[in-house]
Amino acid sequence: MGFIAEAVLNTVPDYPVKHTGLLFFADVPQACAAIAPLRDSGARALELMDRASLRSIEDQPGMP
């Protein structure tokens, strides 16, 4: 038997300004080379999707 008296959940900050962008690169090394400049410009999160990943979702509604 157990009793939980308190639980704390730490989440990421909810920034007031949010933007989304979609960038295309010729290959993965070029995409990786863009990480530092994007981070230095203020980007808080970056996601890399290769061609195979994009193909797997291209027929889903709402995908560009």
Distance CA 6, CA 41 (A): 39
Range of the domain at 32: 28-57
- Give me the half-sphere count of Cα atoms (radius 13 Å) on the Cβ side of residue 26: 1
Sign of the CA dihedral 38, 15, 13, 63? negative
Instruction: Answer whether residue 47 is part of any domain.
Output: yes
Please give the model's pTM, rounded to 2 decimal places: 0.60
pLDDT, tens only, 50-61: 889 888 988 989
Q: Looking at the chain, which runs of residues are DSSP E strands? A: none
**Total number of domains in the chain:** 1
The answer on pLDDT for 64 being more than 80 is: no
Mean pLDDT of the chain: 90
Q: Does a structural domain hold residue 50? A: yes
- Place 44 in a pLDDT band, splitting at 50, 70 and 90: confident
First-to-final CA distance of the chain:
51
Is residue 46 situated within a structural domain?
yes
- The band of 17, judged by pLDDT with boundaries at 50, 70 and 90, is confident
